[in-house]
Amino acid sequence: MIGLKEQIEQAMKPIMGMPLSQACRALNMEMFSFGGLRESVTPLGKTGLVGEYALHIQCPWRVVGPEGIVVASGDRNYPEDENSDWQDFDSDGPSLCEARIDEWLQPHKDLPLTVESVTADRLGGFRLELSQGYMLEVFPADSLRGEYSEHWRLFRPSCENHFVVTGHGVEK
């Protein structure tokens, strides 16, 4: 039987060589898009851009670069300007996470970072090596096994087949 590490590495193969085209957040879920962007309409009728593949992460993650941590999931708990008055901070609004991701991706708009390799672990985590010395690290950090134990998923928008990693392993 093929292990979780091997399943993850196999599932990630389609995004090898693809550009990281955008990132955004919905509550505690970070959403990274890979490949060319196209317009799409959501079930609620909203129009937006989606990539060829989407990676939705609901567990801890971080982007590491040559100088150290660039941005991480914990940054969504802090205001855009970490020197501002934290009394007025609303965690559902703009956060340090969005500010740092925008600051990181902006210089790469004309020549996007591309996925060079993936290394997974046996616990559902992985590291995507990106060009220019960056990497996206995803690491499940809880022991949940119930209905709400999803750590992350990779899928093609508008397709029904999703590769989903939960506290149980790969969701069937």
- pLDDT of the residue at 136: 98
Q: Which of 7, 5, 2 is nearest to 122 (CA)?
A: 5
Q: Is the pLDDT of residue 84 over 90?
A: no
| Strands 68-72 vs 61-65: parallel, antiparallel or unpaired | antiparallel
- Quickly state the pLDDT bin for 130 (edges 50, 70, 90): very high
Q: Which of 64, 43, 32 is nearest to 155 (CA)?
A: 32
Instruction: Tell me the pLDDT tens digit for each residue of 9-49.
Output: 999 999 999 999 999 998 889 999 999 999 988 778 888 88
Confidence (pLDDT) at 57: 98
> 11: buried, middle or exposed (CB in 10 Å: 19+, 13-18, 0-12)?
buried
Contact 96, 75 (CB under 8 A): yes
pLDDT for residue 158: 81
Q: What is the pTM of this model?
A: 0.92
Name the DSSP class of 92. Answer: T
| C-alpha torsion 42→56→112→101, nearest 10 | 100
Residue 147 DSSP SS3: coil
